[in-house]
C-alpha cells in the first residue's frame, strides 16, 4: 500500500472487527487514525494503544453514527483537532439477527440509521472538508444476495449502499469535486 504519512483518516466503527483491522493497517502505512466507536470505549482505547505501541498515531473519538448530529460531529471534531480530513472510511455497522415477526420498528430504524443514514451524512459532511485527492470508502457486504434468518433490516441497508454507489460517485463528480475519489468495498467470507 502507498504511504499515507501524515494523512488524517476517520474509520467509523473501528473499535473491533473489520474496522479495527482497517485502522491498524492505515496506521502502519503512516496515517493519523481517528478510531471511532459508539459504546465500546475500552475496545477503542485498546486499538489506539496498540497503534501507538507500534509507533503509529491514533485517537479515539466517541460518536453515535446512527445519529446525523453524531456523524457530522465526528467529521467536524476531526478537522478541529487535526486541521483537515483526507480519508473517510464508513465502516460502522451492526447486525441484530431477529426473526421477521419479532423485529420491532425501533430495531429496524436503529439498523437502517447506523448502516445507511449515518454513513450518508458522514459522507456529506466529509465532502465539505476533503481537499484535492480526498477519499471516501464505504464498507458494505457482498452478502446482499444471500438469504438468512434475521438479516432483512441489515441487508436492506447494505443493498441501499450497493445499489446507490454509482449515483453518489456521479454526484461527487457533478458537484465540481472530481478530485475526491470514492469506493465501495464488499468484504465477504471465504
Which CATH number characterizes residue 20's domain?
A: 3.40.50.720
pTM comes to: 0.87
Shortest CA distance to 12 belongs to which of 83, 76, 64, 84? Answer: 64
Residue 90: CA atoms inside 13 Å, Cβ hemisphere, count? 33
Assess if residue 83 is contained within a domain: yes
- Does residue 2 belong to any structural domain of this protein? no
- At 54-67, the pLDDT tens digits run 999 999 999 999 99
- Structure confidence at residue 97 (pLDDT): 81
Q: Residues 97-134: pLDDT tens digits?
A: 888 888 899 998 998 899 889 998 999 999 889 987 88
Tens digit of each residue's pLDDT (9 = 90 or more) over 139-187: 876 666 666 777 777 677 666 666 666 676 666 656 656 567 766 665 6
In the chain the beta strands, taken as DSSP E runs, fall at 8-11, 32-37, 57-62, 87-90, 135-139, 181-185
Residue 24, pLDDT > 90, answer yes
Q: Domain of 169?
A: 8-185
Whether residue 72 lies inside any domain: the answer is yes
Tell me, yes or no, whether 190 lies in a domain.
no
How many structural domains is the chain composed of? 1
Q: Is residue 134 part of a domain?
A: yes
**3 in a structural domain:** no
Amino acid at each position: 500500500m502507498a504511504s499515507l504519512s501524515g494523512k488524517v483518516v476517520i474509520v467509523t466503527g473501528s473499535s473491533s472487527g473489520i474496522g479495527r483491522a482497517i485502522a491498524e493497517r492505515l496506521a502502519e502505512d503512516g496515517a493519523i487514525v481517528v478510531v471511532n466507536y459508539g459504546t465500546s470505549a475500552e475496545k477503542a482505547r485498546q486499538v489506539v494503544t496498540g497503534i501507538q505501541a507500534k509507533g503509529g498515531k491514533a485517537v479515539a473519538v466517541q460518536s453515535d453514527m446512527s445519529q446525523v448530529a453524531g456523524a457530522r460531529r465526528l467529521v467536524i471534531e476531526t478537522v478541529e483537532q487535526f486541521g483537515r480530513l483526507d480519508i473517510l472510511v464508513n465502516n460502522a455497522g451492526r447486525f441484530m439477527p431477529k426473526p421477521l415477526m419479532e423485529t420491532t420498528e425501533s430495531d429496524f430504524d436503529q439498523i437502517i440509521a447506523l448502516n445507511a443514514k449515518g454513513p450518508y451524512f458522514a459522507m456529506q459532511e466529509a465532502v465539505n472538508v476533503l481537499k484535492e485527492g480526498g477519499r471516501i470508502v464505504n464498507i458494505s457486504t457482498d452478502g446482499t444476495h444471500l438469504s438468512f434468518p434475521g438479516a432483512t433490516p441489515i441487508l436492506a441497508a447494505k443493498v441501499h449502499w450497493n445499489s446507490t454507489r454509482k449515483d453518489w460517485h456521479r454526484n461527487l463528480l457533478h458537484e465540481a469535486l472530481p478530485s475526491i475519489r470514492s469506493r465501495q468495498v464488499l468484504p465477504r467470507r471465504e
